[in-house]
Structure 1
């Protein structure tokens, strides 16, 4: 199986979580931080879930899969119900993640490093979540404050560069100059970002 990595914008998207335990809590927190509108269905709900601004339905799943749900996360202990929910989601073309069954899932949750606007996702395509955590910890130590400052500088310069009549090659040179810590703006740095300069 080959996974394709993407970043989803979930702000105000309707998301359904089946299950109310510790595993469900972890998934809900990810969705909550992304601004999703979350409904949780489970006969019992973790105390921490109750503290969040989510809709809670205290009962088992009963064919509650509405067409307007954007994605569904299944984190219950009932394997038969999990399978039925997955099949329902697939029929409705709704993204589905069954936390203990990658074969029933259309997406998985990667291990994520987030520093301001920098997001690094790490996945083993569901083969070893434990290993992704180990790798994430290694990568976290590699990211320095100056990397985030450089990203901020590139972001500011990008707005100016996009407004200039430059070729792709010339734009690449501008970004390379920034990475070399040449902090002058593209307008000031005529040598690095002039539209007449075609060298990379």
Structure 2
């Protein structure tokens, strides 16, 4: 189901936006932290949820995903280890014009998370077209550059 997509870089204010994370593992925990950090109202749905997610300021529903869970959501993150379920979530979101991120694909989604730098001077988002390790590597290099830069 992979398709060739071109992602437009854009910064979005998530303050008080309704977001859903489907999944309760390590990647879901990182996505939840990012969303909460930027002020989103987050609901997490998964049968099993890591303690670090439970410690966040989010609503928790320990159960499986249902199609109606996407109702009234601004952004949905399909963060399960079930590729078919994630694809179904993407399809539902795209049919409803809801932004969706899919952790099991590099392109089958409408929104990507980035590695980012956010300091007093800059807000820099980095995407290596679906390769998070390369994004993080470049982020570290840019942070070092900014730290050592002379004005």
Q: TM-score, normalised by structure 1?
A: 0.69
Structure of larger gyration radius: 1
Partner of 1:134: 137
For 1:117 and 1:45, locate their aligned partners in 2 and report how far apart those are by CA, in whole Å: 36
Partner of 1:105: 109
Structure 1 unmatched runs, 5+: 151-200
1:66–1:76: structure 2 CA closer, same or farther, 3 Å change rule?
A: closer
**1:3 and 2:10 correspond:** no
Structure 2 unmatched runs, 5+: none
Helix, strand or coil: the match of 1:132?
helix
When the two chains are superposed, the root-mean-square deviation of aligned CA atoms in Å is 1.8
Matched residue count: 147
Contact 1:65–1:88 (CA under 8 A) maintained in structure 2: no
Cα displacement string for residues 15-68 of structure 1 (whole angstroms, at most 9, x for unaligned residues): 000000110000000000000000000001110111111000000101133431
Q: CA deviation at 1:119?
A: 0.9
Q: TM-score, normalised by structure 2?
A: 0.90
Cα displacement string for residues 63-101 of structure 1 (whole angstroms, at most 9, x for unaligned residues): 133431000001101222111111100010000000121
Helix, strand or coil: the match of 1:139?
helix
Helix, strand or coil: the match of 1:103?
coil
For 2:15 and 2:134, locate their aligned partners in 1 and report how far apart those are by CA, in whole Å: 29
1:28 to 28, 32, 35: 32
Larger fraction in helix: 1
For 1:117 and 1:38, locate their aligned partners in 2 and report how far apart those are by CA, in whole Å: 28
Q: CA deviation at 1:135?
A: 1.1
1:17–1:117: structure 2 CA closer, same or farther, 3 Å change rule?
A: farther
1:67–1:60: structure 2 CA closer, same or farther, 3 Å change rule?
A: closer
Contact 2:20–2:70 (CA under 8 A) maintained in structure 1: no
